Amino acid sequence: MEQIEDLQFKNLKIIQPKIGYRFTSDSVILANFVQAKPNQNVLELCSGCGVISILVLKKQNLNKIFGIELQNSLFELSLKNIKLNNLKNQIFFINDKVQNYASHFPKENFDIVICNPPYYKIGSGAQNENEQIKIAKSEAKLSLDEFLKIASFALKFGGNLYFCHDAKRLFEIFTTLKSYNLIPKEMFFSQGGENSNPSTVFIRAQKGAKDELKIYPNLLTTKNGEYITTIKNLFNKE
C-alpha cells in the first residue's frame, strides 16, 4: 500500500509506502542544507524514493541530478515520483549498489554529492524485522567508510559532500572524512526539543579544503517534526 504526501513546496508530491521505509524530517532538512548552482553536476547516493533529489532540484533550480539506489522497491518508487512531478528529463536514478559507482560515472565527475546514508552499525541502533527498513537504516549493505570513500572518488577537487548521520558517531565520521581528503566546513545538529540531546548531525565537507569549520546553532524540532528554529534562520549565512 502506498500514499501520496504533499511536500508543501511548488506543488511537489511524493509517493511512499504506508508500511516499510518512509523518509523522515532528516531528508527534508538535508535537502534544505544543500547549496548548488543550476549547471553543477549533482549526485545523490542512497537516493531511496527520490525525495531529496526532487527537493534539491526544485529548490536550487538545477538542470539535472543523478541518483543511485540499491533497493529495487525504493528505486521503482523513485521512478513513480519522477513521473508524478514531471521531472523525467531532469532526474535520473540508477538501481545498483553505491559501491558500483565506477560502472556508471567517471572518477571526480561531480561538483556535489548528497547522501542520507545508513546510520547504524550492524547490531546497534533500533532493530527492525522489515528488510527494507533494515537495509536503509543499518550498514548491512553500505558502511560509513565505503560511503565516504565513494563520495570522495565521485567528487571533483573542491567539490562538496552534504550528508547527515548519527551524532553519536561524530568522532568516527571526522576521522574517516579526513582519511579521504574530505574536510568538514559547515555543521549543525538537530534535536527533538530544548531538553533533548542532539540526535543527528548534518555536515558539508569539501574535498581538498583547508581546515576551518563553521558550526551553526542546533536545529530544534517538535515531536511532530515542526521546526522551532527555522531552516531560513539556520542557513542565514554570513
Mean pLDDT of all residues in 5-21: 88
The mean pLDDT value of the chain amounts to: 90
Q: Does a structural domain hold residue 35?
A: yes
Per the confidence metrics, is the pTM higher than 0.85?
yes
Q: Can you give the pLDDT at residue 135?
A: 82
Q: Write out pLDDT tens, residues 93-120.
A: 999 999 999 999 999 999 999 999 999 8
| Virtual torsion, Cα 181, 96, 136, 183, nearest 10 deg | 10
CATH number at residue 144: 3.40.50.150
**Rounded Cα–Cα distance for residues 121 and 186 (Å):** 25
Q: Does a structural domain hold residue 66?
A: yes
Q: Can you give the pLDDT at residue 226?
A: 62
First to last CA, the chain: 45
SS (H, E, C) 133-155: HHHHHECCCCCHHHHHHHHHHHE
Cα four-point dihedral sign 61, 29, 183, 115: negative
Question: 227 pLDDT band (50/70/90 cuts)?
Answer: low
Structural domains counted in the chain: 1
Angle at 85 between CA 80 and CA 86, to 5 degrees: 95
Domain that holds residue 61: 23-234
pLDDT at 238 over 50: no
pLDDT at 10 over 50: yes
Q: Does a structural domain hold residue 183?
A: yes
pLDDT at 174 over 90: yes
Q: Does a structural domain hold residue 16?
A: no
Q: Does a structural domain hold residue 7?
A: no
Q: Does a structural domain hold residue 130?
A: yes
Q: Does a structural domain hold residue 6?
A: no
Of residues 15, 208, 24, the one with CA closest to residue 133: 24
Mean pLDDT of all residues in 132-151: 90
Where is mean pLDDT largest: 3-7, 167-171, 195-199? 167-171
Q: Does a structural domain hold residue 2?
A: no
